[in-house]
A and B are shown apart, each in its own frame.
Chain A
Amino acid sequence: MTGTADRVVSRAYLLGLGHVNLLDTYLSPLSYQGGQLSYLGERSYATRIAGGKVGFQSLFQAIGCYALSPVQNGTTMGGFLVSRTGLHYRWQPSAGLRLFAGGNLNFTGGGLYNLRNGNNPAQAKLQLDVAASLAASWSFRVGKQLLALRGQVDMLLAGLMFSPNYGQSYYELFSLGHYDHNVCFIFPGNAPTFRQMLTFDVPMRRATLRLGYVSEIEQSQVNGLKNHRYSHSFMIGFVRDLHFLSRKQIPANQIFY
């Protein structure tokens, strides 16, 4: 689809449940493990760029996690909102197989809260980064069913993230307004971060069933503080393909007003 008037916009809505491993040495030197509940919304369509070979993708994630310390007497809760917006260039080397390469701009906001800590109970997460993105999709028929398998890997290239300094208190930051290297440059050397997604689409009557696996390997070491969030989630949801038509293509009696 090359024009906005008759383009197809795919929207996916997925819910996921998975495992999470959390570390933030500002809060604790121990890794916490637990469960993660997430929502993933995706919107994608072909743009007019390069004859329709460039596609737009927007992903929105809402993540909630609950994890326990190794001896299960400490609790950390986390919540994150993630927005990822990018473009992919598409190649089609053979029938059914499509390869994509591009990049995206990502924003993550949220934080962790440790229920036991005193003056260092929470850690905020604010991050803006640019990532390289590679993907492949393969469509094939099983009987009359047209199925689609897609894999995507995004790798952080560079960005900025908020972090208190090694022993800096939030009292100093927010009550006294003392800043000390709190906006940190991140790159694969100090923040090797990968986000991966594997989806399997099965068309149903009115929508397409989507099964997915999402893995996030987010980690950083800035200001002497280490943190990571490793998550693996299985997702389920559906995809709706919306075909936008121009008025000329629609019979007049089908337009209500």
Chain B
Amino acid sequence: MGKIRFPRLVRVLDSVFGHSFLKLIACLFSVSVMVSCIDEDNYENTPEGNLEALWQIIDTRYCFLDYKAESYGLDWNEVKGRYMACLTPNMTSAQLFEVLCNMLAELRDGHVNLYTAADVGRYWSWQEDFPANFNDSVHRLYLGTDYKIASGLKYKILDDNIGYIYYESFSDALGDGNLDEVFYYLRSCTGLILDVRNNGGGQLTYASMLASRFTNEKRLVGYIAHKTGPGHSDFSDPEPEYVEPSQGIRWQKKVVVLTNRACYSSTNTFVRNVKGMPRVTVMGDRTGGGSGMPYTSELPNGWLVRFSACPMYDAQMQQIEFGIEPDVLVNMDLADIEKNKDTLIEQARSFLKK
């Protein structure tokens, strides 16, 4: 081993390092420095940089560009040029937000949002431009005060022995135990109304779990795919989705599922799952759609963007992004509302009594 004394340390280190050890270490470490970095393109935190980054996220990861080009002529390249021309170097944050939201609105997708600390950019025309087909005051009269609550399900037996379940959000937790209790309680009813109006979605697993109570056989209900690359047409082979019969209590009588335009996302998927089942009738208005599972990304200025990433189809491989037609179209009658009657619930009751 080399023996070094302090007074000569610097000189000795220099001579030793000069020909052996540090040279070797430096050589080893420099190998990694020379390695190419795997990094992402960095956009400037400027109006142009943020619009470019947002456009790029949608261009490479959004899953309906081809479909929307076909259905209403969306040209995403043209959109970029049009909105880039709206930018000015000194524009305020609020002005930039407005431009970016308008650009995203071209996608006509309720799953596309831009989140800032001050506001949420949104496209809600899929429900705002249509009748609500739901009146909260009237609905409360139907529920009364003696209804039961099993997790996210509110339920009761109506006075004509029709079971009624209102499920307001698929984000509300749902378990097999809850469903067993609910269906056991309603077992003597002559029919069931499952009301999912105004349910804006939530967990897909709850949509499958609830649907599994209405079938006695494994059913093909649709397909799901995902993007495999940045190209607009880069998709995986669609994989079939099935609903399997629940091991718990399954409903064996007629059931009417009530829908309106505010049925979105997972609720849209739930309606897809149950439509066509032998004892199920979907009644009300067309659902709002939203068949792309949303992902999240972000811009250089920190704004969060949500967008549809994984497309889901029905069992015939048709798009359901813009909603699902009901089996029986029923709209709320204003005269009924004045009489504190919910047209959809009343029609469902009549249907179930036939």
Contact = CB atoms under 8 A, between A and B. Distances in A.
Interface in A88-145: 93-97, 99, 114, 116-121, 134, 136, 138-143
8 contacts: A29-B297, A99-B24, A138-B20, A141-B2, A166-B226, A166-B227, A167-B310, A196-B29
B4 interface: yes
Interface string A215-256: 101011101101110000000000000000000000000000
Contacts of B36: 192
B152 to A, nearest CB: 19
B228 A167 contact: yes
B236 A180 contact: yes
A54 interface: no
Nearest to A223: B228
Given A29-B41, A142-B5, 6 more contacts: A134-B28, A141-B4, A176-B224, A192-B36, A196-B28, A196-B29
Interface-central residue, A72, A155, A194, A227, by most chain B CB under 10 Å: A194
Interface stretch (A41-49, A59-67, A146-154): A146-154
A50 interface: no
B228 A172 contact: no
Contacts of B306: 118
Interface stretch (B142-150, B279-287, B288-296): B288-296
A25 interface: yes
Contacts of A119: 293-296, 309
Interface in B129-169: none
The 4 tightest CB contacts between A and B, nearest first, are A167-B227, A194-B32, A71-B302, A151-B25
B31 A194 contact: yes
A31 interface: yes
Interface string B13-39: 000100011001100110110011111
A142 B39 contact: no
B338 interface: no
Interface residues of A, number: 64
B245 interface: no
Contact of A73 (B2, B293, B302): B302
Contacts of B230: 166, 224
A183 interface: no
B176 interface: no
A32 B228 CA distance: 25
Interface SS majority for chain B:
mixed
A216 B82 CA distance: 44
A163 B148 CA distance: 44
Contacts of B352: none
A226 B38 CA distance: 7
Nearest to B237: A180
B128 interface: no
Given A155-B31, A194-B32, A217-B32, A167 B37 contact: no
B1 A140 contact: yes
Contacts of A118: 294-296, 306
Nearest to B242: A176
Contacts of B53: 29
Given A94-B20, A165-B236, A167-B310, A136 B28 contact: yes
Contacts of A70: 45, 300, 302
Contact of B3 (A72, A141, A228): A141
Nearest to A173: B226
B315 interface: no
B188 interface: no
A180 B332 CA distance: 46
B98 interface: no
B24 A116 contact: no
A224 B300 CA distance: 21
Contacts of A99: 24
Contacts of A221: 38
B309 A31 contact: no
